[in-house]
Structure 1
């Protein structure tokens, strides 16, 4: 107990020092050509911030573009020809205080002070199926409670100057879930530009070679989300893998490869040693957009990945073995998932294998339900969302 108390005291001291540091550096003039990027708390070079960064790198070469990198993930950033700074370092405080624009896809620390001259562009990281922010009726995440979680979420959203939305559906939800009163840029998601500009055989062959996948193999991407009430500690979640990968190898191993992509909050190390090269763990793979493009079929559950994958008009399967519990107790949904999901909802490995074989034998027919889903959620995404966002922001 004494160690816990001392840790809390130390964290409070560090927080006060960081806050004071930002106040001090905010007296320096703003650098009108400096933009700071952050994806998933500095853990990745990915997602909407990456797409916007890549667009600016091509079209606005007079800007200084710097990434915030969590010190535990520095080596990932070293793999790219990009400028980065250690998140929470003294230099990071200085740059954040002077930057003209922040481009971020998740929440920032509560103690952060946004200088009045800085534009905070919040891109968020998914079209919502499950309840968000103040819409969550009973928060079961560690280290917080429902009232505090809602209060902190609303406080964070009050700092945003602009919020990117992928579609009208999301715009309506974001306004209420975040109690957001700022400006919303409804452009489609920048991260999905890649799915339009790079969807060709040459890129797919390149990605297969990069991942070590034989060209002739078909690829299944399994990308489940996390469960709020299954955790080790704050920010580290358990995941009980229900998909029988050994059975799938027996039935599909000759023609398929499975890419296993766990959510970035999931801390499990799943033993795949008996599965050979049938299953590749790509949980730490930098950007999921490449995994979408190389995959022939997506298996997911309640993750927002299926909204993005729908842009490719490829088959999707939903492994919803705990649907009743997730829908009725953990999160709740914004629409009738069972009725509108753009693919079958299945709850056993056997039924999933049968569906995959059915797709292989009959091909994938783009159904009326899938067409309706695409029209509702993907119609803004034409490969130019990054341009739309920055045209709006730099012109405004």
Structure 2
């Protein structure tokens, strides 16, 4: 029925109905006053406790700021998702969620906000986005490939937004020039990257305990991004060869965690696991995995830049580069010009591991940081919380 309606109804009518469904015209919630000490957070359209919002809220809890914290979560995740006791969870997409948004002083989101009531003048919306830096082009930079409905929604989201954050000047330029956004962009770093500077040992112990890995063992994470096709070839490598070459080059004992993108998480069941090659697809915080890892292997995922910020080893492996560029996404950077060792075949990947040069890699990272003018230093969450306290004037 939905597909039939999409064919016969004008696009503007479909867009209007979508906005109605998402509560965008529910002005009657304005009958309720805005609570100056309420914050509502959403992560990837209703996912659990993670990404930038998690680390901002952790800082608020650490500083014992007396605010009401609401987190919007998809219905199917409400039981399984783990949150601090001070965070109240509300079902994403529900009338209750619209009420909480309508009466909160602060909104925090890391993706384009589609589900919300009309924003009020005395509300403050912080858009953190979901990466410190990205490889794949986004928003206005690929406008010709985006649906008109998405562009309208994105422009409205930027109009509602009061503050964005950036971890480097390259990202600042993208937000200013490609997000249809002309208000403040705070040069503070990325909250989810704070963990690399502050609690890394504590987080590493947590990850190792979760997967029952001895602390003396070294850890590789394989985290490919998703493709629009369902072919599993991109998500399987010669894992035993990778482990063997890592042991030969770096010494010690090694384990490998496989973390598939949420969009293809169902393919995880097609991979063979054991005590050495471990399924980490359902682990709730990718940032903690990166914090615990010694090596990351990925293809086009922005997690490569998180690993760089952590000053850790990252190998890029993409056997389908030409096809990806032709069919999937355009890129901001040439993969061959990034600071990471790049390969298109398993033989090249193994060789890159065996011939890895730490000094050369470190120099390449520093050169890249200067190029993008990086300013990550582990204080992003603190700066954002201070900004909330100063700008929003919470009643504490």
Match of 1:164 in 2: 165
State TM-score, norm by structure 2. Answer: 0.85
Q: Which residue of 2 aligns with 1:230?
A: 229
- Cα distance in structure 2, aligned partners of 1:303 and 1:107: 19
CA contact (8 A) 1:31 1:99 kept: yes
Distance 1:274 1:171, change over 3 A: closer
Distance 1:102 1:239 in 2: 38
Deviations 1:23-45 (A, max 9, x none): 11122111000001111111121
Bigger Cα displacement from structure 2, 153-162 vs 91-100: 153-162
Question: Residue 290 in 1 paired to residue 291 in 2?
Answer: no
- Describe the SS at the equivalent of 1:197: coil
Q: Equivalents in 2 of 1:197, 1:38: separation in Å?
A: 24
- Taking the aligned partners of 1:241 and 1:25, their CA distance within structure 2 comes to 47
**What's the counterpart of residue 353 of structure 1?**
350
Asked if 2 retains the 8 angstrom alpha-carbon contact of 1:272 and 1:279, the reply is no
Q: Among residues 66, 79, 92, which one is paired with 1:75 in the alignment?
A: 79
**Structure 1 CA distance for aligned equivalents of residues 172 and 276 of structure 2:** 40
Deviation at 1:217, TM superposition (A): 2.6
Q: Which moved more, 1:315-324 or 1:100-109?
A: 315-324
Indicate if the aligned counterparts of 1:243 and 1:348 stay in contact, CA closer than 8 A.
no
**Cα deviations across residues 11-56 of structure 1 (Å, max 9, x unaligned)?**
9878636527731112211100000111111112101111110111
Q: Runs (4+) of structure 1 moved beyond 6 Å?
A: 6-14
**1:255-270 superposed matches below 5 A:** 255-270=253-268
Name the residue aligned to 1:113. 118
1:375 shift after superposition = 3.8
Paired residue for 1:45?
49
Which residue of the partner structure matches residue 36 of structure 2? 32
Q: Cα offset for 1:131?
A: 0.7
State the partner residue of 1:149.
150
Shift of 1:7: 10
Post-superposition offset of 1:135: 1.0
Give per-residue Cα distances to partners, 1:290-336, cap 9 Å, x unaligned. Answer: 10111111111111111111122121100122222333553222233
How far the C-alpha of 1:112 sits from its partner, in A, is: 4.4
Deviation per CA, 1:43-72, whole angstroms, max 9, x where unpaired?
A: 121011111101111224211111111111
- Given that 2:189 and 2:376 are in contact with CA atoms closer than 8 Å, whether structure 1 keeps it comes out as yes
Instruction: Determine whether 1:388 maps to 2:383.
Output: yes
Preserved contact between residue 310 and residue 378 of structure 1 (Cα < 8 Å): no
Aligned residue number for residue 181 of structure 1: 182
> How many angstroms does 1:385 deviate by?
0.7
What is the match of residue 394 of structure 2? none
Gaps of 5+ in 2: 248-252, 392-396
Distance 1:107 1:154, change over 3 A: same
Q: Provide closer, same or farther for how the CA distance between residues 268 and 21 of structure 1 changes in structure 2, counting only shifts above 3 A.
A: same
What is the CA–CA distance in structure 2 between the aligned matches of 1:129 and 1:18, rounded to whole Å? Answer: 30
Query: 2:135 matched to which residue of 1?
Result: 129
Q: Equivalents in 2 of 1:42, 1:283: separation in Å?
A: 18
Distance change (3 Å), C-alpha of 1:379 and 1:176? closer
SS in structure 2 at match of 1:171: helix
Q: CA deviation at 1:257?
A: 1.6
- Counterpart of 1:235 in structure 2 is none
Q: Contact between 2:220 and 2:254, CA under 8 Å: does it hold in 1?
A: yes
Which residue does the alignment assign to 2:363?
A: 368
1:97 and 2:102 aligned: yes
Q: CA–CA distance in 1 between the matches of 2:6 and 2:322?
A: 39
Could you tell me the TM-score, scaled by structure 1's length?
Answer: 0.85
Please name the residue that 1:215 is paired with. 215
Contact 2:101-2:117 within 8 A present in 1 as well: no
SS in 2 for 1:265: helix
- 2:92 aligned with 1:87, yes or no? yes
The aligned residue for residue 315 of structure 2 is: 317
CA 1:351–1:14 in 2, change beyond 3 Å: closer, same or farther?
closer
Q: How has the CA–CA distance of structure 1 residues 217 and 357 changed in structure 2, closer, same or farther, with 3 Å as cutoff?
A: farther
Rounded to whole Å, the distance in 2 between the matches of 1:73 and 1:257 is 29
Aligned to 1:243: 236
